[in-house]
Amino acid sequence: MVRSRNTAATQTRKAAEHAVAEVLTPDVLLGWYSTMVLVRTLDERAWLLNRQGKAAILASSQGHEATQMGAVWAAVRYSPSLAIFPFYRGLATAIATGITPTEALLSILAKAGDPASGGRQFPLHGAVMTPKLKVINISNVVATQIPHAVGYALGCRMSGDPTVTMTTFGDGATSEGDWHEGMNYAGIYKLPVVFICENNGVAISVPQRKQMAIVNVADRAAGYGMPGVVVDGTDVMAVYEVVGEAVRRAVRGEGPTFIEAKVVRLLPHTSDDDDRRYRTPEELEDMKRRDPLKKFKEHLMEQGILTAQLDEQAHKEAKEHVDRATEAAEAAPFPDTGDFYDHVYASE
Ligand SMILES: Cc1ncc(C[n+]2csc(CCOP(=O)(O)OP(=O)(O)O)c2C)c(N)n1
C-alpha cells in the first residue's frame, strides 16, 4: 500500500539512513530511491569540487549505484554481521554502509575529519567502522582487497565469528593473479565470502573483449567451485535479491558466491581521464539509457509509487543535504602537519 505523500516526504528526508528491508514495500522503495538520488547529487558535487581544484582525484560511482547500494542493503539485512572490502569506485557503497555525505566530502577534500584516513589517503580509501558494519580496507591497488577479504573470512571461521565478508571490484580486477588466488582459496575452503564484480565493460580504456575470451566473467566461477551469477547491475531490486541469496548461502555454511553485476560507467575512469579518446558519443548515449537511477525512477512511476512531486522533493532535499555537507566540509581543517608520520612508523 502506498502511504500518504506526507509520510513519503518524511521518508525522503531520511535519505541518508539505511533502507534495509524485511519486505520491499512502497515506502522502502521510496527510501531507496531518495538515497540513490542523494548519492548521485553528492557524486556530481564531488566532480564539481574537483573541477574547482578543491578535490584532487575522483572515481565516480555514477552508473554503479544500484549494484553498490542493493548489495550492501541485502548483506546488512541477511547477515548477522558484515565486513566489507570495497574498491575505489565505491561512493554509493560508502553511503549505503552509513558514511554520511559530510564524512564522504571530508575525505574527498582531504580534511582531518575524514573517518577513513584522516585526510591522508585517496578519497574514501582506508578503513572505517560504521554503526552497521566494518569497512576493513579500501585500496587503489587493483584486486589486493580480494585475498585480504578471503583471509579475513578465514580468520572469522577460525575464531567462530559468524561475520559474512563481501568484496567488490571491477572486471579488470579479475585479470589479476590476486583475484584468481583469492577465489581459489575461498572455493577450496568454502569460506563465507560474497564476491561482487561490478562489470562496466572497461578497465580504464581496455574493453572486456581484450581482457578475456568470454562474455560473462561469471563463467570463471565454475573453475573455483562456486556459483557464478549474472545480474543486471542497473536494477537495484534484482541485485538485492541475488546478493540476499548469496549472503544466506554463506550464513548456512555453503560457501562463497561470485556475482557479476553488469553496470555502466557513466563518467570517465577518473577525473584525470578523458574518455572521448576511447568511447563514442553514441556509446555514451546508449549507456545513459541504462542509467540505474533513471531506470528505478521509471519503474517506481509506472508502479504508481513515485510521483513527479515526490521526485522533485527528493532532488530538492538531496541538494539541500549536499549543500550543507559541502559547507561543513569546506570549512573543516586540513590535517595537522605535525602528525604527518602517524601510522607510517611505529612510535614506540
Ligand atoms: C595493481 C594495479 N595495477 C594497475 C593499476 C592502475 N589501475 C587503476 S584502476 C585500473 C582499471 C581497473 O579496472 P576495473 O577493475 O574494471 O574497475 P573500474 O575502474 O573499471 O571500475 C587500473 C589498471 C592499479 N591501481 N593497481
pLDDT in tens, 135-177: 888 888 999 999 999 999 999 999 999 999 999 999 999 999 9
User: With 50 as the cut, is the pLDDT of residue 17 above it?
Assistant: no
pLDDT in tens, 320-336: 999 999 999 999 999 99
Q: Which atom number of ligand 1 is nearest to the Cα of residue 89?
A: 21
Q: What is the mean pLDDT of residues 216-232?
A: 98
- Ligand 1 touching residue 215 (CB < 6 A): no
User: With 50 as the cut, is the pLDDT of residue 4 above it?
Assistant: no
Q: Which of 11-25, 35-49, 89-103, 245-259 has the lowest mean pLDDT?
A: 11-25
Q: What is the mean pLDDT of residues 110-122?
A: 92
Distance (Å, whole) CA 145 – CA 138: 7
- Ligand 1 touching residue 203 (CB < 6 A): yes
Provide the grid cell at 143.
Answer: 584486486
In a domain, 266, yes or no: yes
In a domain, 323, yes or no: no
- Write down the residue that cell numbers 573455483 correspond to: 224
Contact predicate 234/62, CB 8 Å: no
Task: Name the helix (H) or strand (E) containing 327.
Answer: helix 308-331
Taking the centre of ligand 1 as the mean of its atom positions, its distance from the CA of residue 62, in whole angstroms, is 17
- Ligand 1 touching residue 114 (CB < 6 A): no
Residue 20 has a pLDDT of 60
- Ligand 1 touching residue 89 (CB < 6 A): yes
User: With 70 as the cut, is the pLDDT of residue 127 above it?
Assistant: yes
Query: How many domains is the chain partitioned into structurally?
Result: 1
CATH of the domain at 286: 3.40.50.970
Protein residue whose Cα sits closest to atom 25 of ligand 1: 141
Residue 16 has a pLDDT of 34
In a domain, 222, yes or no: yes
Question: pLDDT category, 9, cuts 50, 70, 90?
Answer: very low
Which of 347, 345, 311, 239 is CA-nearest to residue 37?
A: 311
Question: pLDDT category, 121, cuts 50, 70, 90?
Answer: confident
- Write down the residue that cell numbers 550464513 correspond to: 251
Taking the centre of ligand 1 as the mean of its atom positions, its distance from the CA of residue 144, in whole angstroms, is 11
- Ligand 1 touching residue 210 (CB < 6 A): no
**Helix, coil or strand: residue 43:** helix
Contact predicate 211/193, CB 8 Å: no
Provide the grid cell at 152.
Answer: 579475513
Contact predicate 246/259, CB 8 Å: yes
- Ligand 1 touching residue 142 (CB < 6 A): yes
User: With 90 as the cut, is the pLDDT of residue 123 above it?
Assistant: no
Question: pLDDT category, 195, cuts 50, 70, 90?
Answer: very high
Q: What is the mean pLDDT of residues 105-112?
A: 96
In a domain, 95, yes or no: yes
Q: Which atom number of ligand 1 is nearest to the Cα of residue 203?
A: 13
| Domain that residue 141 falls in | 58-295
**Helix, coil or strand: residue 280:** coil
Question: Catalytic residues, which ones?
Answer: 265, 269, 278
In a domain, 181, yes or no: yes
- Ligand 1 touching residue 170 (CB < 6 A): yes
In a domain, 163, yes or no: yes
In a domain, 314, yes or no: no
Q: What is the mean pLDDT of residues 192-210?
A: 98
Residues of the chain above pLDDT 70, percent = 93
Residue 145 has a pLDDT of 96
pLDDT in tens, 279-336: 999 999 999 999 999 999 999 999 999 999 999 999 999 999 999 999 999 999 999 9
* Angle 248-179-183 from CA coordinates, rounded to 5°: 40
Q: Which atom number of ligand 1 is nearest to the Cα of residue 169?
A: 15
Average pLDDT over the chain, rounded to whole?
A: 92
In a domain, 333, yes or no: no
Sequential DSSP letters for 47-77: HHHHHTTSS------TTTHHHHHHHHHHHHH
| Residue of 61, 65, 68, 142 best suited for mutating to test ligand 1, as the one with most atoms within 8 Å of CB | 142
Distance (Å, whole) CA 313 – CA 323: 15
Sequential DSSP letters for 140-173: SSTTTHHHHHHHHHHHHHHHT---EEEEEEETGG
Distance (Å, whole) CA 163 – CA 25: 27
